[in-house]
A = this chain, B = another copy of it.
Amino acid sequence: MTIVPKGYRFAVAAAGFKRPDRNDLGLILSSGPAVAAGVFTTNRFQAAPVLVCKAALAESPLARAILVNSGQANACTGDEGLANCHATLDIVSEFARVQPEEILPASTGVIGAQLKMELWNQAGLRLAGTLGRAKPMDVAKAMMTTDTFPKLVSKACQLSGGEVRLLGMCKGAGMICPTMATLLGFLLCDADIEPRAWREMLTYCADRSFNALTVDGDTSTNDCLLALANGAARVRVSSKDDLESLRQCMLAVCQELSYRIVQDAEGGTKVAHIVVSGAKSHPQAELAARAIGNSPLVKTALFGCDPNWGRIIAALGRSGADFEPQDVVLNIGGILVFEKGQPAPEDLDALLAPVMRHQDVKIELCIGPGRGTFTLLASDLSKRYVEINADYRT
């Protein structure tokens, strides 16, 4: 059962941005000002809603609402796109009785097309009509593009002053980036917390979840993860223990959502858990893990259930990470595969065949005596991925 934090209402509408028959517009409204934090794409081209969110959060650490649409990314749309984004906030502002600058916008869809404002104008009333009647799951569904299932996770967290609730939702990475306008994630909490602590908690959790997964290595122009804490539970979070408890709760929610993104990767059939250890630093371990997780050859071998481990070693070798080839130890699904520069003297194909058929495949590489580690979740690369992305628009 979904645990819904106190003091939030939800609304959805079918605006028809891409298809006429499904909800593609969602609103999350807090009953009072919520402490807000955001983590955004590092892409040099940032979509209009990303720019608007960043400006709003730079101006004030409080927000009242999140407005999300699927079907149009509003990225690479220049000044017109920015003006359109503001116009959508005005529409919501009227019926939701909040200031436009208190609303955080998020969009996902095809890059480079201007918003269809006539559809937005018509949809405003319908959105207002469902306010308070829609459920969190309805919003999670409205933000889907090629996702095959909605992604919603919620948890209660016991703190010294009482219970608070945390709800997270996101859209994939439903094969990261049919349009590169991919990852949207929202976290809602009813705790009462300082803005700075809330921001730090979000960054900590994002680095260990959403920032540690890959579907196809393409970082979207629209990626954003927004977090609201409205204090409606009347539980103040300030002691070190309480902050740590809430952080662990948030991390669990973020990691569960991240797993579901990779599980629902476009055309994906597998989730590879790539664990690199023994590197000279964490960034070095990350470099190695990402080269493997983004290698088309590793990904197609995963798809084909082919224990072609040489591709993993070769991807590590070209990763740019600093290590000695002789030090590298590779285990797949707990089976020793490669050590001291050569294959383990077993019938590896026979041993690995059943391991490769699992949905979850653990690839562990120790690359030296260092203390740097990184764990990356990666999807495989299937014919369906190519189909989806070759035919996405045309």
A residues bordering B, Cβ < 8 Å? 42-46, 73, 75-81, 110-113, 177, 179-180, 216-221, 294-297, 300-301, 303-306, 308-311, 313-318, 323, 325, 338, 340-343, 381-383, 385-387, 389-394
A81–B43 CB distance below 8 A: no
By a CB distance below 8 angstroms, the chain B residues around A81 are 342
Given contacts A296-B216, A342-B80, contact A383 B387 (CB under 8 A): yes
Residue in B76, B308, B315 whose CB lies within 8 Å of A313: B76
Partner of A318, one of B218, B301, B389: B218
| CB pairs A–B below 8 angstroms (15 shown) | A43-B314, A78-B340, A112-B310, A112-B313, A112-B338, A177-B314, A216-B296, A218-B315, A219-B314, A296-B296, A296-B389, A300-B389, A301-B390, A304-B389, A383-B390
Q: Is the CB of B300 within 8 A of A77?
A: no
B76 touches A343 (CB 8 A): yes
Known: A80-B342, A180-B297. A314 touches B386 (CB 8 A): no
| CB neighbours of A338 from chain B (8 A) | 76, 112
A349 vs chain B, min Cβ distance (A): 8
| Closest beta carbon of chain B to A178's beta carbon, Å | 8
Let me know if B112 and A304 touch, CB within 8 A.
no
Is B310 within 8 A of A110, CB to CB? yes
Q: How far, in whole Å, are A12 and B179 apart by their CA atoms in the complex?
A: 49
Specify which of A177, A309, A343 lies most central, judged by the most chain B CB atoms within 10 Å of its CB: A343
Name the B residues within 8 Å of A76 (CB-CB). Answer: 310, 313, 338, 341-343
Q: How many copies does the complex hold?
A: 2
Q: Is the interface of A mostly helix, strand, loop or mixed?
A: loop
In the assembled complex, the Cα of A217 lies from the Cα of B221 at a distance in Å of 22
Query: Are the CB atoms of B112 and A309 closer together than 8 Å?
Result: yes
With both beta carbons as reference points, the residue of chain B lying nearest to A337 in the complex is identified as: B112
Given contacts A78-B340, A338-B112, A342-B78, contact A386 B382 (CB under 8 A): yes
The complex places the Cα of A340 from the Cα of B78 at a distance, in Å, of 8
What's the least CB distance linking A227 to chain B, in Å?
23
Q: How far is the CB of A133 from chain B (nearest CB, A)?
A: 35
> Quick one: which of B44, B306, B387 contacts A317, CB cutoff 8 A?
B44
Are B381 and A325 in touch, CB under 8 angstroms? no
On whether the beta carbons of A44 and B383 are closer than 8 Å, the reply is: no
Question: Are B218 and A45 in contact, CB atoms less than 8 angstroms apart?
Answer: no
Which B residues touch A309, using CB under 8 A? Answer: 112
Shortest distance from the beta carbon of A302 to any chain B beta carbon, whole Å: 9
A229 to chain B minimum Cβ distance, whole angstroms, is 30
Measured between C-beta atoms, what is the minimum distance from A15 to chain B in Å?
21
Residues of B within 8 A of A316 (CB): 44-45
Give A215's nearest chain B residue, CB to CB. B296
Query: Shortest Cβ distance from A338 into chain B, in angstroms?
Result: 7
**Contact of A297 with B221 at beta-carbon distance under 8 Å, contacts A306-B393, A313-B111 already known:** no
